[in-house]
Structure 1
Amino acid sequence: MSISQLTDEQVRNVIQGPGDVEWRYEMRRECQEILPGLFLGPFVASKSLETLQSLNITHIVCIRDAKEAFSVRPRFPEHFSYLTLDVEDNEEQNLIRLFPRAKAFIDEAIRPERGGRVLVHCNGGISLSPAFVVMFVMQYYSLSWEDALHLVQNRRYCISPNGGFLTQIKEYEAIYRASQAVASYPATQRPINRRKREDDSDDEDPREEDRSKRVLFESDTSHNSLLLQLEYDPNAMEIS
């Protein structure tokens, strides 16, 4: 989805989010809807079956440090579809490598014909899971990394991805824009396999092609022979 068709003011309103929400400290322990069908929050928000069902959540992305696995884990696998990612919450962790799995899971859940609703959480919902959600929002709306970060912050005020994650968020903008450019490249300008084209005439005489290949081969052979001769006999080209 792209918001390129919207006016500048409409885009600003999407990034700004609802202006009537007064942020309270205790909201850190709750989850917030970042875009239609996508929620972001802490692990504690994923522990209440009643809350999850009231929000009509169908899918949950559980992002955790491996050493938290004993506590941060899927709690209701019989009620929701889970994707669990073991990720270290430090600046050296490569998020870009792991992001495609999360994106594919979320895309599948929230596609219109499926109508799913996804909660993405880590332990605190401050650094790790927000980094994934910012990258998803960036590509979903075709935004710059700064606008995507502001969009998420304006809905969950307490997020603060660490410096390493912010660097990767910036890098991901170039990656997703490059993939979009490749996808939009006109098919008519892409290289064509000339060995056999669908529009080639079936009654074309194959001997013509063989004859052309033979001429090229003989020309190349003659040229290579001359080069070898010059290499071993520098005077071969001298006129006597």
Structure 2
Amino acid sequence: MDCCLHRQIAHITDHLFLSSAAAVSGERVCGLNITNVINCTMDIPNLHMPGIDCIQIHVDDLPNANLSLYFDSVSDKIAQIHQRGGKTLVHCVAGVRQSASLCIAYLMKYYHKTLEDAYRHVKQKRLVIHPNFSFWSQLIQYERRIFRIEVDSG
């Protein structure tokens, strides 16, 4: 992975950012006026800084990991933070799979983007994203649920 892309903090919206864990530093978070960090790693510790609220979601990048359990709660949390005037950074180890998938779910739920449009939007902002097959399948199911898409069984 390109070192510059690895350390990039991508602006997904005016209040949502996406990055790898390596890009997260107190100086960069403060410089972007980020108020909340969502850490989607198994064992990388949260950033501890006054005025920065952090939550950790323990989901590994494995085919059997159920990231969809967090699509609504994380999306709602990002929306609540935005309503209060805050900004959120979502990161995982590489900023490629878990965190990207959660950002896509947020855009689907709160910006009413299709999965394809949400993916393209995030991909345009952070070129290295690549949800694994399982996360992609979970996002398809999420799209069907939130947009009430019926699956043709015929």
In the superposition, the TM-score normalised over structure 1's length comes to: 0.59
Cα distance in 2, alignment partners of residues 77 and 87 from structure 1 = 23
The question of 1:63 aligning with 2:34 is answered no
Show CA shifts across 1:88-138 (max 9, x none). Answer: 211211111122221222111111xx2101000001101111011111111
Cα distance in 2, alignment partners of residues 135 and 104 from structure 1 = 10
Structure 1 unmatched runs, 5+: 1-23, 179-240
Alignment partner of 1:130 out of 97, 100, 117: 100
SS in 2 for 1:64: coil
Task: Confirm or deny: 8 A CA contact 1:83 1:105 kept in the other structure.
Answer: no
Q: Name the CA shift for 1:39/1:92 in 2 (closer, same or farther; >3 Å).
A: same
Aligned residue for 2:140? Answer: 170
Aligned CA RMSD, in angstroms, stands at 1.6
Alignment partner of 1:117 out of 87, 101, 118: 87
Cα distance in 2, alignment partners of residues 102 and 83 from structure 1 = 10
Aligned residue for 1:28? Answer: 6
SS in 1 for 2:57: strand
1:140-219 pair list within 5 angstroms: 140-178=110-148
Q: CA deviation at 1:28?
A: 2.3
Task: Confirm or deny: 8 A CA contact 1:40 1:129 kept in the other structure.
Answer: yes
Aligned residue for 2:16? Answer: 38
In the superposition, the TM-score normalised over structure 2's length comes to: 0.90
SS in 1 for 2:68: coil
Cα distance in 2, alignment partners of residues 131 and 118 from structure 1 = 15
Show CA shifts across 1:195-238 (max 9, x none). Answer: xxxxxxxxxxxxxxxxxxxxxxxxxxxxxxxxxxxxxxxxxxxx
Aligned residue for 2:54? Answer: 82
Task: Confirm or deny: 8 A CA contact 1:63 1:120 kept in the other structure.
Answer: yes
The structure with higher relative contact order (CA 8 Å, sep 6+) is 2
Task: Confirm or deny: 8 A CA contact 2:97 2:131 kept in the other structure.
Answer: yes
Show CA shifts across 1:165-209 (max 9, x none). Answer: 11111111111113xxxxxxxxxxxxxxxxxxxxxxxxxxxxxxx
Name the larger-Rg structure. 1
The question of 1:94 aligning with 2:66 is answered yes
Cα distance in 1, alignment partners of residues 103 and 70 from structure 2 = 13
Structure 2 unmatched runs, 5+: 149-154
Q: CA deviation at 1:25?
A: 5.2
Cα distance in 2, alignment partners of residues 96 and 160 from structure 1 = 16
Aligned residue for 1:13? Answer: none
Letter in 2 for 1:85: I
Cα distance in 2, alignment partners of residues 172 and 54 from structure 1 = 34
Letter in 1 for 2:14: P
SS in 1 for 2:130: coil
